[in-house]
Amino acid sequence: MKKILVTGSTGLLGNCLTNYLQNKNYKLIKHGFKKKSEMNFDLTKKNEVERLINKTIPNTIINLSALTNVDVCEKNVIKAFNINSLILNNIKEIIKNKKINLIHVSTDQLYNASDSKVLNKEEDIKPINIYSITKLLGEMFISDINSSVIRTNFFGFSLIKNRESFSDWIINNIKKRKKIRLVNNIFFNPLSIISLIKYIEFFLINPKYGVYNLGSRGTISKYSFGKLLSKKLNLDDKFIEETTIEDLNLFTKRPKNMSMDCTKFEKTFNITLPNIDDEISKLIDV
């Protein structure tokens, strides 16, 4: 039985992934930053990482530890570096001479294609804020060991109280009859969290090393995503207002086109990824 250590298991993705994996044939070890976590080690400290790994002796580590709030990252560079970069370097240093596979979930915010119709390949990186820079540094730290890096974006229902996903935020505000503004000039191709956790398991079953884009087929703007989500769930989309990223006047600069070319993943695992319409439809049955 494979022993899997999931770091950052108390986060939005971590909760869903561990809930899925615990019903499979794995010995699951859950690490989190909350005091009530099964394993509560400070991974920004190398000696704590060493203690955790020596205590659990996993076959595979799935790293979900991340500081994802882009404004917090921009305002606190050291904190962003410690969580998004240093943790991975610490893990690398401890496992580099051990037979332990590492799966790391990264972000599509490393991309920023100038043309909205372009799908970014794995080499087309253009980080433009502290969040994306520290995520890229983290990837670079583990590039010389046997690691699988998954660049992705996801949506779906959160299992954590008071922690909303992007789709949760849209749905909850519409149900409260509150107007929201969604931008028409930021493009992405997210997966449902239902699909993402299943694809992460592909790397557990058949480890493939390197960097992989993982998203749905095609591309869609944040505004069109909100409209399609509302239509699928029979919600009143009159509460969605169309705007641009420039009009929001956000503190931190955001990439405009994060849409990913996922051909490498599809060819490696010999599958065809679903389109965004099918992915949103999966929320209906949840």
CB 184, CB 244: distance < 8 Å: yes
Structure-block tokens of residue 64: 């979900």
Tell me if 52 is assigned to some domain: yes
Tell me if 169 is assigned to some domain: no
Residues 6+ apart with CB under 8 A from 192: 154, 155, 156, 279, 280, 282, 283
Tell me if 249 is assigned to some domain: no
Q: Which residue, among 129, 125, 280, has the nearest Cα to 217 in the 3D structure?
A: 280
Q: Which residue, among 234, 224, 214, has the nearest Cα to 274 in the 3D structure?
A: 214
**Domain interval for residue 70:** 2-160+189-219+259-275
Q: Which regions in the chain score pLDDT beneath 70?
A: 35-36, 285-286
Tell me if 12 is assigned to some domain: yes
Number of domains into which the chain is organized: 1
Tell me if 207 is assigned to some domain: yes
pTM across the whole model: 0.96
| Distance separating alpha carbons of residues 41 and 50, to the nearest angstrom | 10
CB 94, CB 49: distance < 8 Å: yes
Tell me if 47 is assigned to some domain: yes
pLDDT at 39: 81
Tokens 């890229």 appear where?
136
Tell me if 231 is assigned to some domain: no
| Distance separating alpha carbons of residues 277 and 189, to the nearest angstrom | 11
pLDDT at 53: 96
CATH number at residue 105: 3.40.50.720
pLDDT at 35: 65
The length of the chain in residues reads 286
pLDDT at 286: 60
Backbone torsions φ then ψ of 131, nearest 5 degrees = -55, -55
Tell me if 122 is assigned to some domain: yes
